[in-house]
Structure 1
Amino acid sequence: MSYQALYRVFRSQAFEEVVGQKHVTTTLKNAIARSKISHAYLFNGPRGTGKTSIAKIFAKAINCNERHDGEPCNECPSCVSITSGTNSDVIEIDAASNNGVDEIRNIRDKVKYAPGESKYKVYIIDEVHMLTTGAFNALLKTLEEPPSHAIFILATTEPHKIPPTIISRCQRFDFKAISTPDIVEHLSYVCDKEGIKYELSALEFIAQTAEGGMRDALSILDQAIAFGDENLTLSHVLNVTGSVGKEDLRKLTDAIVTYDVRLAFDQYHQLLSDGKEVNRLVNDFIYYLRDVIVDFATGTKGEGHIYEVELPVIYEMIDKINDTLVSMRFAVNMNIHFEVLIVKLSELVKSHEHGAGASTQYIDARMKEFEEKLAQVQLNPTAAAPSKPKAKTERNANKFSVSQIENVLDNANREDLTYLQENWQSLIEHVKQNNRALVSLLQNSEPVAASSTHVLIKFQEDIHCELVNKGDDKREQIESIVYTIINKKVKMVGVPDSQWLQVRHDYIKHKKQQTEVKQEPKDDIVKTAEELFGKDTINLID
């Protein structure tokens, strides 16, 4: 006989074998034992929680002549034929592929005929919410006045899509997601039956990944056993599910909360190189922080710098991760969203660590500086004429250097820029084949100025610009690749897309300005205030 998947081999064949649905199995057993059987049932709940399995067990139990306390014997001809799927009186219908009016009319025409080999005809309609409106209307009359020998069992994962007129004619049973301990216990039973050696942590991770579905858990177990050659470890499970282990998540989190963004980026790209999926990584990240919160609540402390962060900050971190998860659903490039998330989380932790005290000290220092400059203006009005504004440069000093950009623009020429633009796509293709770690940096970039010695590259994301300007290794790697494309050694300077137009405008304006206009003392004071605090914060009163 050919190999069967574990979820088929270990499918429940009696009510007592069903895991995690005690409230359903007990009710149905009592109803069968007391001969209080309804003509229609609605089973709804998450996938893989036993809806179809219980429907088949119910069909066997009501047709079994040897049943005891509502349980089928699984030995009589009726039970054996239903288990094997050869009983003509138990009809399974997939509403996802048979959802039209004609299919339901066919059922309505045949349901009036008496069963051939069993006491009851049982119609199991799976994914019933997929029926069309016309099909539901065709089914409605049959459910309202069915023959005494017919029983309908409707199974669905989305009961809100079923018309209330259908639901009101059924006994409704809500299936629950199976708890993690129950799944672990059943998986250990399966492993013992199959003679598989296993690590308990591997079963726990499978149960967590299955999210309450026993069928999903058995499918993952089946795949992990095949990967591990009859030996099940946590590493095998992580590999087959594409999930990230706690140790890798701890290292990534440590880099984030210690403000080492470059290390966090390197670790993230290494996980991508190992075949991890971004969506999966985000979910695993949330689960990891959830476990940290549980540790805080229970008074235990694990390894990692995350335990040095205050609990409210961790709550905010989870909110930002959830926001990123929503954004990624509509994103073309999910890698950039996760990179930006790394920076946001690091800045969040940094801002809370410095606290409000640091902000107050900063404001006091700026006020003192302003008072000193104001006094100088009043004593010597002509000596305090403001120079070229520097506030914006200071705010962006961590992203780019205006002086370096001006140096490129001073010597820029059209020929070098045109040649580089024509070959830029070739450079990106070269990176995709030879250095995938740089792909996310370069695929949303373009050269905007070039000379014989320097190249100015515009980056769509500010963080990518900062990484190139501050990271010598990244910049040198890109410069070496540029050399292979244009056969010329050049120095690379980055500018963020959000600032490029303003930087170019300031450069042109500065070049055109020939003489400085002398300002009145009052204007000098206003300019100095605007320079220190920003134009929007100044309220001028005569």
Structure 2
Amino acid sequence: MEYQALYRAFRPQTFGDVVGQKHVTKTLRNAIVRNKESHAYLFNGPRGTGKTSIAKIFAKALNCQFQENGEPCNECDLCQSITDGSANDVIEIDAASNNGVDEIRNIREKVKYAPSVAAYKVYIIDEVHMLTTGAFNALLKTLEEPPGHAVFILATTEPHKIPATIISRCQRFDFKAIELNEIIDRLQYVASKENLEYETEAVEYIARTSEGGMRDALSIMDQVIAYSNEKITLDDAVMITGGIKSVELNEWLKLIEEKNSKEAFLKYHQFIDEGKDPTRLVHELVYYIRDIILMKHSNEADESTAFFNADDKVLYEMIDVLNDAMVMMRFSVNTSVHLEVVIVKLIEVLNKQREALPASNVDLSHIENQIKSLEQKLQNIESVPAAQKTEKQTRTVSKGKGYSISQIEKVLDRANKEDIAKLKEGWPKVYQHVSDKNLQSLRSLIKDSVPVAASDTHVLIKLDNDIHSELINTNEDKKRELESVISTIIGKSVDVVGVPESSWQQVRADYIKEKKPQPKSQPENDEKKPSDLAKEMFGADIVETRE
């Protein structure tokens, strides 16, 4: 016999075998025992929670001659024919593909005929919310005056799309997401039946990932079994689902707690390089911060737990930031950028907490030491000649801004029009090469970037923001990757220097003013204008002259 998926092989066949939904199974079983069956039922709830399975069990229990306490025997010919889908008196209809008026009219014509073998003719209409308005109107007439031998079971995940006139003629059962412990118990039962070895942490992770859906949990488990060669491990479960281990999430959040934005960004790009989905990362962060709150209130957290000393109010605000990001990412093309912004916003939330602390609780000794140090430096600066002071200020202005003035000057000192023209012409090929090599993090860094200056040995790239510029200048791996791609395209090795778009205009103007003074030997009428000098260095297509 060919292999059958776990969610099909372990589909419940009795009310007692159903995981969760006790309020539904008990009500239906009692209705059968007391002969108080309704002519129409509406099952609604999340996917994979047992709506269609319970509908088929109910159809068997209604028609089984050997049922006991509302449970079908599953051994008679009628029960087995309903189980394998060959029973003529139990009709399953997919409303997603049979949603027109003609299909419902066909039901109306045939429902009046008595069942051939069973006591009741049962119609199970799945995804009933997909019916058209005309089809709903046609179904309404049948539900108003149904024959005594007909039972309708309507199943849907979106009950708000069903007309109120249909809902009012049905007994409505709201299916709930299955509890975590119930899913874990069922997965362990399936693993034991299949003689599979498993790690408890792996089963718990699969149950959490399924988000209350038993079918999703069994499908994920099926994938892990196929990947891990008959043993279910946590590492394999994380690999299959594209998630992150709690330990790695804790390390990442520790970096944010320490306000180490650079390392937090590098950690994030490491996740992206490993193929993690940014949207999934946000979900993981929300759940983990929620777990931190629960662990703190149950005294299970310690100093190794991220945000152990943070107030609950701060954690609530972080969850709000992440929820807003999830909404924005749903409609965004470049989801990676949103998560980069989220890292900065989470650090800002922590800064607000620090600013809100009472003055009496703040240790100001380190600030006093810094002030003394700055006063000493100021006295030393006052003794430096004015020319040296100007040069020093120029070279330190970029500290913390994502670029280095000295590195930029190395490029501009030897810049020429030929090299920048060649690089600009080949820049689309650079971006395409990065995309073809699937270098996701590098592609997000150089997106919307433009080369602005080049020489035989260096190139200057204008990047979208300060963070991207700092990553290119300080992250050796990313820098070497970009330099390798550029050398492949232009045919020679160069060093890459980054400058943020917000600072480029000022940096260029300062360089032209201070590094390229007017030659004294030339007559006044032959002196070059600053605009002409800029055109020689950067090309006439970049420089715009304004009076």
TM-score by length of 2: 0.81
Deviations 1:116-148 (A, max 9, x none): 111111000000000000100111100000111
Q: Does 1:492 align with 2:496?
A: yes
Q: How far off is 1:513 after superposition?
A: 11
Cα offset for 1:219? Answer: 1.2
Q: Is 1:463 matched up with 2:464?
A: no
Structure 1: distance between partners of 2:190 and 2:468? 49
Partner of 2:334: 333
Deviations 1:452-482 (A, max 9, x none): 4543211123310122234455445544554
2:193 and 2:180 mapped to 1: Cα distance? 20
2:24 and 2:260 map into 1 onto residues whose CA distance is 53
**Cα deviation code 1:41-88 (max 9, x no counterpart):** 111111111111111111111111122222212222222221121110
Structure 1 segment 166-185 matched on structure 2, within 5 A: 166-185=166-185
Separation of aligned partners in 1, 2:202 and 2:288: 16
| Alignment partners' CA distance in 2, 1:435 and 1:192 | 41
Amino acid at match of 1:207: A
Gaps in structure 1 of 5+ consecutive residues: 374-382, 515-542
Q: Which moved more, 1:48-57 or 1:325-334?
A: 325-334
Q: What's the CA shift for 1:226?
A: 2.1
Matching residue's letter, 1:460? D
Residue of structure 2 in register with 1:162 after alignment: 162
For 1:538, the equivalent position in structure 2 comes to none
- The partner residue of 2:447 within 443, 446, 450 is 443
Contact 1:460 1:496 in 2 (8 A): yes
Q: Tell me, what secondary structure is at the counterpart of 2:307?
A: helix
The reply to whether residue 205 of structure 1 matches residue 205 of structure 2 is yes
Matching of residue 7 in structure 1 with residue 39 in structure 2:
no
Deviation at 1:487, TM superposition (A): 4.9
Q: Is the 8 A contact 1:120 1:149 kept in 2?
A: yes
* Matched residue, 2:221: 221
Residues 49 and 177, structure 1, Cα contact 8 Å, conserved in 2 = yes
Match of 2:525 in 1: none
Map of 2:538 onto structure 1: none
Name 2:70's counterpart in structure 1: 70
Write the letter of the residue equivalent to 1:50: G
Check whether the contact 2:314–2:350 (CA below 8 A) recurs between aligned residues: yes
Describe the shift of the 1:331–1:64 C-alpha distance in structure 2 as closer, same or farther (beyond 3 A): same
Does the 8 A contact of 2:398 with 2:405 survive in 1? no
Of 3-12 and 454-463, the range deviating more from structure 2:
454-463
CA spacing shift, 1:98–1:359, aligned 2, 3 Å: farther
The answer to whether the Cα contact below 8 Å between 1:340 and 1:463 also exists between their aligned partners in 2 is: no
CA contact 2:398–2:404 (8 Å) conserved in 1? no
1:299-314 alignment runs, 5 A limit: 299-302=299-302, 303-314=304-315
Superposition CA RMSD, Å: 3.4
C-alpha distance in structure 1 between counterparts of 2:105 and 2:92, whole Å: 16
Give the paired residue count.
497
Matched, 1:318 2:319: yes
Superposition deviation, residue 276 in structure 1: 2.5
TM-aligned CA deviation for residue 484 of structure 1: 4.7
**Aligned AA for 1:398?**
K
Which of 407, 419, 427 is the aligned partner of 2:430? 427
**What code does the residue aligned with 1:439 have?**
R
In the aligned structure 2, how far is the partner of 1:161 from the partner of 1:25? 25
Comparing 82-91 with 130-139, which one deviates more in the overlay? Answer: 82-91
Separation of aligned partners in 1, 2:239 and 2:317: 30
Name 2:133's counterpart in structure 1: 133
Aligned partners of 2:92 and 2:124 also within 8 Å: yes
Q: For the residues of structure 2 that align with 1:20 and 1:435, how far apart are their CA atoms?
A: 44
The one-letter code matched in structure 2 to 1:88 is N
Displacement of 1:300: 1.9
Q: Residue 258 of structure 1 contacts residue 305 of structure 1 at CA under 8 Å; is this kept in 2?
A: no
User: What letter matches 1:181 in structure 2?
Assistant: N
Q: Matches of 1:120 and 1:247 in 2, distance apart?
A: 56
TM-score of the two chains, using structure 1 as the length reference: 0.82
C-alpha distance 99-122 of structure 1, shift in aligned 2 (>3 A) = same
- Matches of 1:94 and 1:473, distance apart in 2: 53
Distance in 1 of aligned mates of 2:510 and 2:171: 74
CA drift at 1:327? 2.1
Q: Give per-residue Cα distances to partners, 1:135-171, cap 9 Å, x unaligned.
A: 0011110000011111111000000000001111111
Alpha-carbon shift at residue 200 of structure 1 (Å): 1.7
Report what 2:98 is aligned to: 98
Show the 5 A alignment for 1:499-518.
Answer: 499-501=503-505, 503-504=507-508
Q: Give the whole-Å Cα distance in 2 for the aligned partners of 1:396 and 1:164.
A: 65
Per the alignment, in what secondary structure is the counterpart of residue 42 of structure 2? Answer: strand
- Change in CA separation of 1:481 and 1:33 when aligned onto 2, cut-off 3 Å: closer
Q: Deviations over 1:363-398 (max 9, x none)?
A: xx99xx9xxx9xxxxxxxxx9xxx99x99x958742
1:408, 1:270 → 2: CA distance? 30
Q: In structure 2, what residue type is equivalent to 1:400?
A: Y
**Aligned equivalents of 1:142 and 1:92: distance in 2?**
17
CA contact (8 A) 1:450 1:456 kept: yes
Q: Residue 347 and residue 491 in structure 1: after superposition, are their counterparts in 2 closer, same or farther (change >3 A)?
A: farther
- 2:542 aligned partner: none
Q: Match of 1:44?
A: 44
One-letter amino acid of the counterpart of residue 10, structure 1:
F
How far residue 332 of structure 1 moved from its aligned partner, in angstroms, is 2.1
Matched to 1:276, the amino acid is K
Alpha carbons 2:64, 2:79 under 8 Å: kept: yes
Gaps of 5+ in 2: 379-385, 519-547
Native 8 Å contact 1:257 1:306 kept in 2: yes
Separation of aligned partners in 2, 1:482 and 1:45: 54
Describe the shift of the 1:480–1:97 C-alpha distance in structure 2 as closer, same or farther (beyond 3 A): closer
d(CA) in 1 for partners of 2:508, 2:363:
32
Q: From the superposition, tell whether residues 404 and 28 of structure 1 become closer, same or farther in structure 2 (CA, over 3 Å).
A: same
1:248 counterpart letter in structure 2: E
Moved more, 47-56 or 189-198: 189-198
